[in-house]
């Protein structure tokens, strides 16, 4: 048992065992969105918003974790919401590595950085760029449109 798993069980109680074929217990009739952002408050609020709008939502607070999730279930994730400014692995490098895992996944940039300050590789590598703060309805409309493609 790892220290992290032990800590999770201490704080949250026993962790249920999930079958390998469905590691995240995704609801099959929902589209799956992966959020990669280091802002915990944003992760939680967007997760609730999107779940209420009918999406499965997976969230990661670092680029490396997002890569691990996509590598584990590359076909299940329809859209990735990706922050640009993150510790360890920034949005541009994370984007490049996500594309290696699944070149067809749709990626939406969520950023507080002005578009003209973002590297061209990042701007051109995403399906849509959404500035923080954003309107909930705009985010949901963007995801609905991308999932319909």
| In a domain? residue 34 | yes
| In a domain? residue 38 | yes
| In a domain? residue 21 | no
What is the residue range of 59's domain?
27-148
Percent share of the chain, pLDDT over 70: 83
Give the per-residue pLDDT at 88.
86
Give the phi and the psi of residue 18 in degrees, each rounded to 5: -120, 135
- pLDDT tens digits for 87-143? 888 999 999 999 999 999 999 999 999 999 999 999 999 999 999 999 999 999 999
| In a domain? residue 11 | no
| In a domain? residue 5 | no
| In a domain? residue 99 | yes
**For 47-78, b where at least 16 C-beta lie within 10 A, e where not — what string?**
beebeebebbbbbbbbbebbbebbeebeebbb
How far apart CA 135 and CA 130 sit, in angstroms, is 10
CATH code of the domain in which 133 resides: 3.40.50.2300
CA neighbor of 96 nearest in space, from 117, 129, 60, 70: 70
- Please tell me the total count of domains within the chain: 1
pLDDT band at 14 (very low <50, low <70, confident <90, very high): very low
Quote the strand ranges of the chain, DSSP E.
31-36, 55-60, 77-83, 106-111, 128-131
Give the per-residue pLDDT at 26.
74
pLDDT band at 10 (very low <50, low <70, confident <90, very high): very low
| In a domain? residue 136 | yes
Strand-strand pairing, 77-83 and 106-111:
parallel
| The pLDDT of residue 57 is above 70 | yes
| In a domain? residue 13 | no
| The pLDDT of residue 12 is above 50 | no
């Amino acid at each position: 048992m790892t220290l992290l798993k032990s800590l999770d069980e201490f704080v949250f109680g026993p962790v249920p065992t999930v079958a390998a074929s469905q590691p995240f217990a995704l609801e099959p009739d929902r589209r799956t969105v992966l959020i990669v952002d280091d802002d915990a408050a944003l992760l939680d609020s967007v997760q609730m918003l999107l779940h209420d709008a009918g999406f499965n939502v997976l969230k990661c607070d670092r680029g490396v974790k997002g890569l691990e999730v996509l590598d584990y279930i590359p076909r299940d994730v329809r859209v990735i919401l990706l922050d640009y400014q993150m510790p360890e692995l920034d949005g541009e490098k994370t984007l490049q590595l996500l594309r290696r895992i699944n070149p067809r996944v749709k990626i939406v940039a969520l950023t507080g950085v002005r578009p003209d300050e973002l590297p061209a590789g990042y701007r051109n590598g995403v399906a849509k760029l959404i500035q923080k703060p954003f309107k909930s309805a705009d985010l949901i409309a963007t995801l609905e449109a991308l999932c319909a493609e």
